[in-house]
Amino acid sequence: MAPRNGDKKPVGFATQLIAGGTAGGMEALCCQPLDTIKVRMQLSRSGSAPGTKPRGFLATGAMIIRRETPLALYKGLGAVLAGIVPKMAVRFASFEQYKGALADKETGVTSIGNIFIAGLGAGTTEAVAVVTPMEVVKIRLQAQMHSLADPMEVPRYRNAGHAVYTIVREEGIGTLYRGVSLTALRQATNQGANFTAYQELKKVAHRWQPELTELPSYQHMVIGLISGAMGPFSNAPIDTIKTRLQKATAEPGTTALQRITAIGKDMWRREGVRSFYKGITPRVLRVAPGQAIVFAVYERIKAQYLCLSPYTMSCRSIHFIVSGTVHGVGFRYFVKTMADQKGIVGWVKNDPGGTVVGVAQGKEDAMARFRKDLEVGPLHAHVTGVQISSEQTVSGLEFYKFEIRH
């Protein structure tokens, strides 16, 4: 039976896992070098001696490459990739759960204050469930200053799995949760600011473009870039103290609060207030583009699910043949622009003989507006006729196929 318009099923955990995991994996591959430089800057004592300046972002990166080869910038990547799928799944799934629980019972709308609380909850949940043990392992791997080009130079931790085994055997399983309070505080403030800014900026973008059902990917990236930069500036001191705490070996008889206080006092006395903001440049460069990638990929995969799921609004399946002439801006550019604005996915290409062929897929209302755009054509176009016929695949998934002649 065909689904009725308006029948919707919330995006499930499996979809959150796939969308969040894919987005997180892309983020890690693109941004891991920046994170390694950030960790080295935070652990560095350069600039603590009188008359010396702390080593900067570019200088730190150049030193790592010179001494340890470019591959050293990807130290700890295994731990990140191993944790990124559950991390992103927990983040997005828990945020949606908290957001839904805090929504107004009558209108279903979640206020900006409750979105911030949902973000705090999501950040705390991911910190306890995934992030803390992942970062302890990652930081231990990133802190090793050995050359990957020298096979005789054997590191203490060979890889993420060996690091977990060594840490648990020598220091106990509790070490994997060292700094959990600071990590939870950092992740909570990060995601509170991140999700609040992202949701509000999305609303602004939709108000400016009321004709769009879904925002195009580049707008999700810009919004994610802006929202992702807010967290690092708000909690840089927390992140720096956390990094040093997780790298160090615990002294017997000391509590977590005593270690945190001792690290903070030592940084203040020896290195000054600037030490609390060490690594802020690579962290912002790491987190902000990372969030741009995460939100763009996540929204795209979620949009695919919402279109293809038999529980959501149906997707139209129409074959177009548009005849006419065009001057100036071509049909291919026009079709791609219109599809992007309406959140429609697919491809379009120029074929020999002046034909533009493509396949597109989207919600019924978006596709209806898309069809009207095709009938009008771009500026200076003269469309002489439009032939439309419906078709549906055997699997029941519907596609939008169009052919434009000019």
The residue among 95, 191, 190, 175 whose CA lies nearest residue 135 is 175
pLDDT for residue 57? 81
Rg (CA), the chain: 26
Arithmetic mean of pLDDT, 140-155: 69
CATH, range 318-405: 3.30.70.100
Residues of the chain with pLDDT > 90, as a percent, come to 13
Distance in angstroms (rounded) separating the CA atoms of residues 405 and 24: 41
Predicted confidence band of residue 322 (pLDDT cuts 50, 70, 90): very low
Arithmetic mean of pLDDT, 171-177: 90
320 or 118, which is more confident? 118
- Residues 47-79 have pLDDT tens digits of 555 656 777 888 888 999 998 889 889 888 887
Q: Which amino acids are annotated catalytic? A: 332, 350
Helices 180-208 and 256-271: crossing angle, nearest 10°? 80
169 or 22, which is more confident? 169
Surface-to-core class of residue 280, CB atoms within 10 Å of its CB (0-12 exposed, 13-18 middle, 19+ buried): buried
Arithmetic mean of pLDDT, 22-46: 81
Query: Which CATH fold topology does 13-308 show?
Result: Mitochondrial carrier fold (1.50.40)
Q: Coil, helix or strand for 271?
A: helix
- Residues 261-297 have pLDDT tens digits of 888 888 888 888 888 888 788 778 878 888 898 898 8
pLDDT for residue 297? 86
Is the overall model pTM greater than 0.75, yes or no? no
pLDDT for residue 246? 74
Q: What is the mean pLDDT of the chain?
A: 75
Surface-to-core class of residue 15, CB atoms within 10 Å of its CB (0-12 exposed, 13-18 middle, 19+ buried): buried
Domains of the chain, by residue range, sit at 13-308, 318-405
Q: Is the pLDDT of residue 6 over 50?
A: no
Residues in the chain: 406
Distance in angstroms (rounded) separating the CA atoms of residues 155 and 145: 8
Distance in angstroms (rounded) separating the CA atoms of residues 178 and 85: 22
